[in-house]
Amino acid sequence: MRHRNRFSVLFPIIAGIALTTLSGHVRPSLAAKTTPPTSARLQELVTQLGADEYSVRQRAQAELRQYGVAAFEVLDAAKNHPDVEIRKQAEYLLHAIHINWVDDNSAEEVRRLVALYQTEDAEIRRARLVQISLTDGEPGLRVLSRLVRFETSDDFSRRAALAILRRSTAVREMDAQQFRETVEQQLGGCDRAAAQWLLLYAREAATGELKPDDWQRLIRTELALLEKRPERERMAIVRELLQWQVELAQERQQESLMRGTLQQLLSLQAVDEPQLRTLLDWLIDRKAWSLVAAVDETFAEMIDHSPSLLYRRAELWEQQNKREQLTQLLDKLLNKQFDPPPVKLDDVDRGEVSESYITLASDLQSHGRFDWAEREFRQAMKVNPPDSLPAVDASFRLGYMLFDLGRYDDAYEVMNSLATQLLNEPGRKSLRQLQELTRIPGFLFSHWHLSHAYVLAVKNDVEGQQKALRQALEYDNENADILIAMYRVEGADENWQNETRQRIDRLRGQYEKHVATAERDYETQRSEVYAIVLAQQLNQLAWLVSNTYGDYEQAVRHSHRSLELAPEESGYLDTLGRCYFAVKDYRRAVRYQRHAVELDPHSGQIVRQLEVFQQALAAANAATPAE
């Protein structure tokens, strides 16, 4: 099952080639003048917007409307004019300008995403920018560049630039000189801050000449603006820009710039424990160990008192090869003997202690330290009675983590012990309590047998594998992963293949009915709940088809639709990657799967699938003569 983040109601519309401005309502406007205005004339007209005479204001407004896009930048600058009337009129006129966001060369996917972008709230619009950045190189880059230049929101202008800098397919796949030419064609002469970021980056990429002083000048400008307007969204944008700068400096091996930018990042606001954990995880994932050490030294007192942060220190010591200190620290953590206060198992309720183990284990699992997570899960199982709910919960979580990592023998051992215990009379109470933890027993028992089937597959025990998969179906007959495993059984006879195909056809039919019902409900209600359900059903159908057989092109469309409803959902991106793999479009499969890994870098299944796609792409490239 693939989960998703919260999102708002979507109102898709049909996009034409000429789309209107992204902020505010569409207002009628006169045809744009063909003769370009001088800068002096535009400034004069802006000044006249604040004239005492009504007729002068009206004439200035009418002429500026006729200039259209040519007047955008002077009007955008006028949003900060000291004259209130000029500011108000500039905002009004900006919303009346018509922008051709897409052109004749824009792919249908880009058109659809731009159309959706116009209808949504801030949270979803940010995700749409990332989606546009993942589309085929130059068309997506052109759209994002226009957004950088002509978005009436300064924040979203910057967001569009960050989407290009951080994730853009154009950055990854285009020739550096081509990238520079496209950016300069779209943004040349534009004074907006975000445009300056991209122009500088494009010049550096094409020439190889680094401009750290120029970057610092641009960053100082952003920090000064933030000090004047310490708004939440602006804070998030500056933080993301600084993080990207740290990554860029690390890539270019500029240690001093890395450290200086990190200090700017830390100075943005007071750092609490969750923020510090997120910061350390980001630096550790980047393997920026010198910065991890600097943060550890700066926030030593806070780290001393937090077991989750002490585990981050343990990673640093592991990298520094401080073996003795590392061993002592890990032992203290496992027994919860950290300061303050020391915790003894006899002094506190078992449930509270086990909860700390499970919480820590889950945190370590999400951070990719599966070895230490396993220790914490097993400790929770050890300090609680086997039939207690905390022990059962820890066992389930450990078994599923091992399954996701592809450690099927270990997963089966844990799940077999747990399932056997739950099916005995003493475990019935815990079985009922699993509902409180949203651990559906059918899901648990089906994965018990599914993990067994994977173990038997390695042993080439076809008969045993088939038996285990049938047992898994008894507990969850709508689980696509079980049927996918049945479809991939090697050496199965014709009867098994026919039975499997019948089951797949039946489940696909059920999924299609679920999609149709969810689509009707969503069209009728247009609520977040119905959107969630529809996205899940579309994703499940696309996942089943792309991993077995059927209309792969339709599966691609279903998967894209699920991401329109639930953008930036790693599990749905994982499905989209698989759909493109099914149609043998390995380049797109790698692109979307890579982004899924960026969002969920410690999912074993998602990471393994990226490796498969990359191997297929490399093989296809090797078999195709270079142009």
**CA 265 → CA 206, 241, 478, distances in Å?**
28, 9, 48
pTM of structure: 0.84
Sequential DSSP letters for 8-73: ---------SSEE-SSS-----PPPPSSPPPHHHHHHHHHHTT-SSHHHHHHHHHHHHHHGGGGHH
Residues paired with residue 98 on neighbouring β-strands, in sequence order: 20
Q: Give the three-state DSSP class for 270.
A: coil
pLDDT in tens, 509-561: 999 999 999 999 999 988 889 999 999 999 999 999 999 999 999 999 999 99
On the question of pLDDT at 341 being above 60, the answer is no
- Cα dihedral 239, 240, 242, 247, rounded to 10, equals 140
Mean pLDDT to the nearest integer, 92-101: 83
Rounded Cα gap, residues 537 and 295, in angstroms: 44
Q: Rounded distance, CA 205 to CA 203, Å?
A: 5
Torsion angles phi and psi, residue 19, rounded to 5: -115, 150
Residues 255, 290 contacting (CB under 8 angstroms): yes
Please tell me what DSSP assigns to residue 107: -
- In this predicted model, what pLDDT tens digit does every residue of 52-70 receive, in sequence order? 898 998 998 898 988 888 8
Judged against a pLDDT cut of 80, whether residue 3 lies above it is answered with: no
User: At a CB cut-off of 8 Å and minimum separation 6, what does 253 contact?
Assistant: none
Backbone angles phi and psi of 20, in degrees to 5? -85, 175
Mean pLDDT on 128-155: 90
What is the rounded average pLDDT of the residues 412-438?
77
CB atoms inside a 10 Å sphere around CB 124? 20
Among residues 330, 166, 290, 334, which one has the least CA distance to residue 239? 166
Identify whether the C-beta of residue 227 lies closer than 8 Å to the C-beta of residue 215. Answer: no
What is the distance of C-alpha 484 from the center of its chain?
26
Question: Can you tell me the distance from the alpha carbon of 597 to that of 603, in angstroms, rounded to the nearest whole number?
Answer: 8
Report d(CA 596, CA 134) in Å as an integer. Answer: 11
Residue pLDDT, tens place only, 297-336: 999 999 999 999 999 999 999 999 999 999 999 999 988 7
Task: Work out the average pLDDT over 250-279.
Answer: 92
Q: Give domain 568-627's CATH number out of 2.130.10, 1.10.260, 1.10.12, 1.25.40.
A: 1.25.40
CA dihedral (574, 580, 584, 585) positive or negative: negative
Domain extent listing, the chain: 30-96, 568-627
Full 3-state SS string of 334-352 = HCCCCCCCCCCHHHCCHHH
> In the predicted model, is pLDDT for residue 9 greater than 50?
no
Whether the per-residue pLDDT at 586 is higher than 80: the answer is: yes
How far apart, in whole angstroms, are the C-alpha atoms of residue 165 and residue 277?
Answer: 25
Model pLDDT for residues 43-52, shown as the tens digit of each residue: 999 899 989 8
What would the two tokens of residue 542 be?
């696309």
* CA proximity to 140, closest of 193, 197, 182, 202: 182
Q: Are 354 and 383 in contact (CB under 8 A)?
A: yes
Radius of gyration of the chain, Cα coordinates, nearest whole angstrom: 28
Q: Which of 352, 349, 284 is nearest to 313 (CA)?
A: 284
- Answer with the residue of higher pLDDT: 603 or 436: 603
pLDDT at res. 179: 92
CB–CB of 476/443 below 8 Å?
yes
Q: Using one digit for the tens of pLDDT, what is the confidence trace for 268-307? A: 988 899 999 999 999 999 999 999 999 999 999 999 999 9
Exposed e or buried b for every residue in 498-507, given b needs 16+ CB within 10 A? eebeebbeeb
Q: How far apart are the first and last CA of the chain?
A: 42
Answer whether residue 155 shows pLDDT above 90: yes
Examine the pLDDT at 25 and tell me if it is beyond 70: no
Cα(349)–Cα(622) distance, rounded to whole angstroms? Answer: 61
Report the SS3 class of residue 614: helix
